């Protein structure tokens, strides 16, 4: 794998789900140091392309890039400096941000709502927010558009991203039908595996004994981990009606485009070509 030679800026990415992985992967491939912060029980659906899987597995590889769980800050800094992998810390509130010697903070949690105040350790850092809920100039210095369309991946220097539409992307003529949702609150138990080819109506899991069938035939592209506590209506999985033509181990076009915008924001701002704050750590 070829990594570009750029100043040794370090970017802390909050979140390690599908979108955050697309961002972290692109930043790392461009030669930047990346540190991931994730919760103890991740809720990523497309787990084959989510670095959050390292929380339980210890190490995971997505398209040739490895992420490893670190249990101490010094260990994460050592891994980041060596550059052979991306370190991941369980720190959902970014409480240890100040000790990570970062230049930029990327909020890739995809909350789709007001993210709340910036972490205490964000003072002096470039803060970039992904998607709905972020307002460039207030919640963050720069924002990245995550809604599909002509502006996907655009760097926003002032103002909001597009509001969350609530409409899933249509694939093969199917939108809501391809998604698996919790019928009620409870514990999700898996009855299929990511990568399986299934028929419409096949039971992919259950919530406290109530079956959760696939709405369409296709390839299981994502499922929550077994034993995940869920609330009514929560997204449990995703079936791609294109079936065997899909490679569930490949980062999506959307995540890759958003990653490109994130890379533009970091390099353009820290390099002085875009608006927003300069990073606090010397390259």
At residue 1, the pLDDT reads 65
Mean pLDDT of 189-207: 98
CATH match for 10-165+252-270 among 3.40.50, 1.10.357, 1.20.1460, 3.15.30:
3.40.50
Mean pLDDT of 72-100: 96
Mean pLDDT of 168-183: 90
* Strand order across the 228-230 sheet: 210-213, 203-207, 186-190, 228-230
| Residue 178 contacts residue 213 (beta carbons within 8 Å) | no
At residue 6, the pLDDT reads 54
Calpha distance 49→16 (Å, rounded): 10
**Domain edges within the chain:** 10-165+252-270, 176-241
| Residue 62 contacts residue 52 (beta carbons within 8 Å) | no
Provide the mean pLDDT of the chain: 93
- The 3-state DSSP class for residue 34 equals strand
User: 41-45, 66-70, 78-82, 274-278: which has the minimum mean pLDDT?
Assistant: 274-278
The residue assigned the tokens 């990594």 is 3
Q: CA-CA distances (angstroms) from residue 44 to 56, 101, 121, 257, 265?
A: 13, 27, 26, 19, 25
pTM assigned to the model:
0.92
DSSP character at residue 101? -
The residue assigned the tokens 């419409």 is 200
The partner residues of 248 in beta bridges, in order of sequence, read: none
Compute how many other C-beta atoms are within 10 angstroms of the C-beta atom of residue 126: 25
The third-level CATH classification (topology) of the domain covering 176-241 is OB fold (Dihydrolipoamide Acetyltransferase, E2P) (2.40.50)
At residue 280, the pLDDT reads 45
The residue assigned the tokens 């502006």 is 151
- Tens digit of each residue's pLDDT (9 = 90 or more) over 110-161: 999 999 999 999 999 999 999 999 999 999 999 999 999 999 999 999 999 9
Mean pLDDT of 93-116: 96
């Amino acid at each position: 794998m070829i990594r570009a030679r750029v100043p040794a800026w370090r970017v802390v990415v909050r979140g390690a789900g599908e979108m955050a992985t697309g961002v972290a992967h692109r930043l790392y491939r461009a030669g930047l140091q990346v540190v991931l912060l994730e919760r103890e029980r991740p809720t990523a659906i497309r787990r084959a392309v989510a670095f959050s899987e390292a929380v339980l597995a210890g190490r995971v590889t997505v398209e040739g890039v490895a992420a490893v769980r670190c249990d101490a800050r010094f260990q994460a800094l050592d891994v980041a400096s060596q550059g052979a992998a991306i370190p991941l810390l369980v720190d959902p509130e970014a409480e240890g941000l100040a000790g990570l010697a970062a230049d930029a903070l990327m909020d890739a949690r995809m909350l789709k709502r007001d993210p709340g105040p910036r972490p205490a350790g964000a003072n002096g850092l470039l803060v970039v927010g992904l998607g709905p809920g972020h307002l460039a100039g207030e919640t963050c210095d720069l924002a990245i558009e995550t809604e599909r369309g002509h502006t996907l991946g655009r760097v926003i220097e002032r103002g909001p991203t597009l509001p969350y539409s609530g409409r899933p992307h249509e694939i093969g003529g199917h939108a809501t039908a391809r998604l698996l949702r919790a019928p009620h609150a409870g514990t999700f138990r898996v009855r299929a595996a990511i990568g399986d080819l299934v028929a419409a109506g096949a039971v992919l899991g259950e919530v406290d004994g109530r079956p959760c069938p696939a709405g369409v035939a296709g390839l299981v592209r994502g499922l929550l981990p077994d034993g995940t506590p869920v609330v009514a209506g929560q997204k449990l999985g995703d079936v791609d009606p294109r079936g065997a033509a899909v490679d569930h181990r490949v980062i999506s076009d959307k995540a890759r485009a958003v990653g490109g915008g994130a890379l533009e924001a970091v390099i353009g701002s820290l390099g002085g070509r875009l608006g927003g704050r300069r990073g606090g750590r010397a390259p």
